[in-house]
Homo-oligomer: A and B are copies of this chain.
Amino acid sequence: MSSVARSVEESPSESHERGGPVRHRVEELDSVVVRFAGDSGDGMQLAGTQFTNASAIFGNDISTLPDFPAEIRAPAGTLAGVSGFQINFSSQDIYTPGDLVNTLVVMNPAALKTNLKDLEKGGLLIVNSDAFTFNDLRKADYATNPLEDGSLSAYRVIKVPINTLNREALKDIRLSPREVDRCKNFFALGLVYWLYERPLEPTLRWIREKFAKNPAILEANTRALKAGYNFGETTELFPVQYRVPKAHIKPGTYRKITGNEATALGLVTASILCNKTLIYCSYPITPASDILHALAEMRRYGVRTFQAEDEIAAVGAAIGASFGGALGVTGSSGPGLCLKSEAIGLAVMVELPLVVIDVQRGGPSTGLPTKTEQADLLQALFGRNGESPVAVVAPCSPADCFDMIIEAVRIALRFMTPVILLSDGYLGNGAEPWLIPDVNALPRIEISHPTKPNHDGQFMPYLRDERLVRQWALPGTPGLEHRIGGLEKEDVTGNVSYDPINHEKMVRIRAQKVANIANEIPPLSVNGPEEGDLLVIGWGGTFGSITTAVNRARRKGLKVASAHLRYLNPMPKNTGEVLRRYKRVLVPELNCGQLLLLLRGRYLVDAVGLNKIQGKPFLVSEIESEIYRLIGS
């Protein structure tokens, strides 16, 4: 395990000759990474989620990573059908779901095959040995049984006949054999709960609430969970039990939140903070659809969702809603952003607020729809005809989606501009604890709409304030009737104008207006020394890996700092100055070097990139090694 065992003690459980609890050593650890893997039908996501909740409630810091198959229902037992869920829980601040897995639970051979590569050498491998029949092995393309052919000798393999034990535990409950078998995830979960001293109560409560209407299932899951727990306590299969103490976490009320949930909650919150109806217009697409789903459930909060016929309609409707004075938001993934580009250009021209969410996925084209990537940054900045500046922001963690989507709304409304929020599959589906904010403490977003002419008894739609922002006059307001559109407009009046000098003026005004946003965002801060040998700078979901890697390298004595750009356009005003304080600059990205091009082009620093394009987040170790490679160690 990646952190050092600090204390060894006897398990408090009483010792018996046989059948009863046996004596176990307890080791204390900083952090542990557990992964549950099985067939899509095996309930691994549920097991992972429950484990996460239990760990969070216990008081650990947590970070999680679910991994779904691309197919809806790949045939049971096949490699394509494997579903996994990884949890990193710790007594320290953690930022990533962890590089290597310490304990891997596999429910079938396919899960073993696809997940083994991530298990650390010497790691604990809990195997549902009942699922290693000839048929199961064949479906997973195994030529020989890995439980027998010695190929697992580098790991601490614990074979548990989970099917059998679970059936045994549930044998007198009136359920079909299939229903009984579907409880086996709870058996496995119970076993791992015991191993890591997790409290059973949160999960037992969840089972009670969830299955209140189905007593047999309630009873079965409860028993399976306890049976798994007791199995750990009773057998001698596990010589050691592990303990991960509570973390020192900021006091408050927490919940676990995925990036997509946080985005949805942030939107509703923003709509309340600015006192506008949220109209979320979207066309389903992986991995963004869950935002639509979450918001569709929020009619009670006045939210309107509009499932459009395509992405063009979605963005058009969002702009139309904004024109009407609502909070028009549209969300999609990369291919959808392509389709929205023309309309975003229109929003630039008419200077209406618009929030566009892009939950990035692997590309190009349809690419790897269920995987993560950061390759839409330059598209967000430049993917439109003409000089068409928009604001771009990116959350750095699942929970940060809440804050950054509120930022996106704030910028859009205060600057009458489209804002693109770049989330990604990793952030959207990944979860972390979220300190539930005090609603009343959140700053309101103040907006006003003109009700009277603004210029000699006339209304000039393109008259601007000192920040270059025009007024948001709403249809229905008497006397402010005006027309907007995609043709170049005359300064102040907003009438169509083909005048060359006016065009240049307007292009520059639009650019300056977006640049002015830099006056209202926080400066770029660094984690680590204010100057030094290396700055590792990133954006988006790489925050956790970068921070962890840099912290580790610094603990090894290197003069390395990290910085994270949550505002990509405009960038914080001090960005160039920060970059120049370090001898070298490293830019890790899940793309071929997009931020890198911007930083080099804008600030003329000889930054280098660390690029991974595998549909997966960075491992901490990957960034760490690159740090050592660059500045020795």
Contact = CB atoms under 8 A, between A and B. Distances in A.
A224 interface: no
Given A365-B486, A486-B365, A383 B345 contact: no
A346 B591 CA distance: 18
Contacts of A606: 604
Interface in A356-386: 360, 362-371, 373, 375-376, 378-379, 381-386
A338 interface: yes
A53 to B, nearest CB: 29
A483 B476 CA distance: 55
A158 to B, nearest CB: 28
Contact of A616 (B342, B360, B500, B612): B500
A569 to B, nearest CB: 13
Contacts of A349: 364-367
Interface stretch (A274-282, A428-436, A595-603): A595-603
A84 interface: no
A338 B348 CA distance: 14
Contacts of A195: none
A474 interface: no
Contacts of A383: 338, 341, 379, 382-384
Contact of A341 (B338, B601, B614): B338
A500 B368 CA distance: 9
A346 B334 CA distance: 13
B486 A366 contact: yes
A211 interface: no
Contacts of A488: 362, 367-368
B366 A388 contact: no
Contacts of A54: none
5 contacts: A338-B385, A365-B386, A369-B487, A370-B498, A498-B615
Given A350-B365, A501-B614, 8 more contacts: A338-B341, A341-B383, A363-B385, A364-B387, A367-B487, A371-B503, A500-B614, A511-B592
* Closest 4 A/B residue pairs (Cβ): A363-B386, A334-B385, A601-B601, A366-B486
Interface of A: 70, 333-335, 337-339, 341-342, 345-346, 348-350, 360, 362-371, 373, 375-376, 378-379, 381-388, 485-488, 498, 500-501, 503-504, 507-508, 510-511, 591-592, 596-598, 600-602, 604, 606, 612-616
